[in-house]
Amino acid sequence: MWGGRFAAGPDAIMEAINASIGFDKRMASQDIAGSRAHAAMLAATGVISDNDAEAIREGLLTVLSEIEAGTFQFSTALEDIHMNVEARLKEIIGEPAGRLHTGRSRNDQVATDFKLWVRDQFDAAEAGLIALIRALLTQAEAGADWVMPGFTHLQTAQPVTWGHHMMAYVEMFGRDLSRVRDARKRMNESPLGAAALAGTSFPIDRHMTAEALGFDRPSANSLDAVSDRDFALEFLSTASISAMHLSRFAEELVIWSSAQFRFVALSDRFSTGSSIMPQKKNPDAAELIRAKIGRIFGANTALMMVMKGLPLAYSKDMQEDKEQVFDAADNWMLALAAMEGMVKDMTANRENLAAAAGSGFSTATDLADWLVRVLKVPFRDAHHVTGTLVAMAEKKGCDLPDLTLAEMQSVHAGITEDIFSVLGVDNSVNSRLSYGGTAPKRVREQIARWKEALA
C-alpha cells in the first residue's frame, strides 16, 4: 500500500501491533456500503467512468457475499478491513478497483465505517430499551394496586405499589431511550470526503454520499471529521448510564428472589441450579448483568484515556477505539435482552409484598400527616409525636395500628378513632394522589402516558 516510500516490509512485531483486521472486520458491511456510495458519487461527478463505477459496485457485492458466506480470506498483512476489501476487489475486477480510493483516505473511511456501525448499535439499543419498557409496563399494569414496601437505605420507608415501583424503572430506561435518540441525531453527520484531514481537490459531492448513507448532512470541518470520536464516547457514556440502571434493577431482583424476601419468582429460563445443593435456584442472569456492567464502564474510561492527549487530526492511537466499543455494545445488548426476558417471565408474589408493606412502621408518615391535616399540629411536632408512638409500639412488639386509642392519646390527647383510617397500607397508597405519586390512579395514568408515547 505504501511500497513507493518504503524499501522494506514491516517487522513481524510491527505487523502484529499495527493490524486491526482481527476486530475491525466486524465493520465489513459498513465499509462496503461506504465504498459503494463513494463510487457512485465519483461516477456522478465525472471523477471515474460509469463503467468503472459499475464494475466496482458489482465487485463489492461479490466481496460482501463472500464475507457473509464465511468464505472470505482475511489477511493480517493487509492490516484492516478497508485494505482487505480493496485487495479482494482488485482480484475480482482488476484495474478499476484502484480508482475506488480517489478523493478519500483511510482516515475518513474508517470514521465513516465506525459511525455507521455505532449508528446501527444505537438503533439496536433503542429497540432493546423499548422492548424492556413494554415488559415493565405489563408488570406495572398487572400490579397497579398491589401494595409493597418502599425502601430508603434498604429499610422499610412507606408503602408503595408494585406498579409504581415498575414505573420507576420505566422512567429510568425512558431517559436512556431519550439519550440514545439524542446522541444518534447528533452523530448523524458524514465524515466521508474529508479525506486525510484537509478535504480533496477532486470535485466530489459530499452531500450525495451523506444522503446515500442515511446521514443528515456531511460534517462541516475536515480536520474535525477524521479526528472526532465523540460519537463513540457518547455511545459508551449512554451505555454506561443505561448499564448502571440495569445493574440497580438486577440487584433488586437478586434481593427480591431470595428466600428472605420472596417478593418475586424468576423463571427457570433465567435461573440456574447448584452442582451440590439441589434446592438452589440462583438468579444468575441478574448477577451476570450486574457484573458485565463493569466492562462497559471500563470501555468508557479506556476510550477517554485514548483520546485525551491527541492533537488534530488523526493518530494511530485511534485504532484502539473499536474493541472497547464492540465489547461494550455486545454486553449492553445482551444485558438489555436478558433483563427484558426476566421481567417478562417473573412472577410477583402479591401476598408476600402485601405482608411486607405493613412492616417496619411503614405508615408512620401517614400518622404524622394526619396530625398535621386534622389536628393542625406543626409537622415538626407531629414528627415527634409519631416517633414517640413508634417507640411505644416497638417496645410492645406490635405495629402502629395495634396500639390502642388510649395509648395513642397518652402521647397526644387530640388523637381520635379516625387515626385508624390512615394506618392501613391500602389507605396509605390510595392517599398519595400528588402527581407522580404511588396511588393506583396515578400509576395507571403514567402507564397510559407511556403507552401513548411508545405507540
Measured in residues, the chain has a length of: 455
pLDDT of residue 7: 53
Q: H or E stretch including 347?
A: strand 347-348
**Is 38 a residue of the active site?**
no
Q: Give catalytic status of residue 153 as yes or no.
A: yes
Contacts of 269 (CB under 8 A, 6+ apart): 341, 345
pLDDT of residue 416: 93
pLDDT of res. 157: 82
Segments of the chain with pLDDT less than 70: 1-11, 274, 278, 280
pLDDT at position 2 is 47
The predicted structure's pLDDT at residue 8: 56
3-state secondary structure of 264: strand
Place of cell 396500639: 403
Nearest to 128, CA basis, from 350, 289, 5: 289
Query: Phi then psi for 157, rounded to 5 degrees?
Result: -115, -75
Residue 269's pLDDT is 86
* Active-site option among 153, 201, 275, 434: 153
Catalytic residue among 49, 65, 274, 421: 274
